[in-house]
Amino acid sequence: MKIVAFGASYSKQSINKCFAGYAARQFNSAETEVLDLNNYELPLFTVDAESEIGVPENARSFLDKLESADLLVISMAEHNGSYTAAFKNLFDWTSRIKANIFEGKKIFLLSVSPGKRGGISALEAARSRFPWHGAEIIGAFSLPYFSENFNPESGIIDQELNNQFKLTISSAQKRLLIK
């Protein structure tokens, strides 16, 4: 099984990218690739831009990565109650190539933030929107107070949150086995 993971953020020190990579490694898989969205910079999507330049190669490359995966692990960064404008732009460009960009892919959704809500609004926006583009959401987890609750070497520090995370991963793994 191939897992492609990414944080839906262009921050160079993305906590969502960090957590997506951690979560992906919790699945029993043969291969995991963690994407850095900084490798997929794009101009702002408008129909005028599309008619002038066509679809940029970075959007095609990103779609190729999505298509190569058996499982996508996506951690949604949140700006002002929704996913980031940069990720939305990448999503918009990619969906111009193929509206059904997830095409039946199983997706494990995450969100983290430095605050108490853990980016839950962005996670819920993705949980609502992504199925319209072919996603099968097999699990979701939100981690609040990232720096207090997560250590890159040892994982989730808070025992109750760690137990919830492990149950969510276990349930998702079972759904992966169902064809």
- Comparing 118 with 178, which gets the higher pLDDT? 118
Task: Encode pLDDT of 92-145 as tens digits.
Answer: 999 999 999 999 999 999 999 999 999 999 999 999 999 999 999 999 999 999
pTM, two decimal places: 0.96
Average pLDDT, the chain: 95
Query: What whole-number distance in Å separates Cα of residue 62 and Cα of residue 39?
Result: 9
**Are residues 39 and 4 in contact, defined by beta-carbon separation less than 8 angstroms?**
no
Sequence-distant (6+) residues with CB within 8 A of 57 are none
- Which segments of 26-110 does DSSP mark as H helices, in order? 47-53, 57-67, 85-97
The candidate with the shortest Cα–Cα distance to 176, out of 28, 5, 12, is: 28
At 160-170, the pLDDT tens digits run 999 999 999 99
Q: Assess contact for 68 and 31: CB atoms under 8 A.
A: no
CA angle at 11 for the pair 48 and 67, rounded to the nearest 5° = 65
pLDDT at res. 178: 63
What pLDDT shows up at residue 28? 80
CA gap 65, 20 in Å, rounded: 15
**Domains defined along the chain, listed by start:** 2-177 (3.40.50.360)
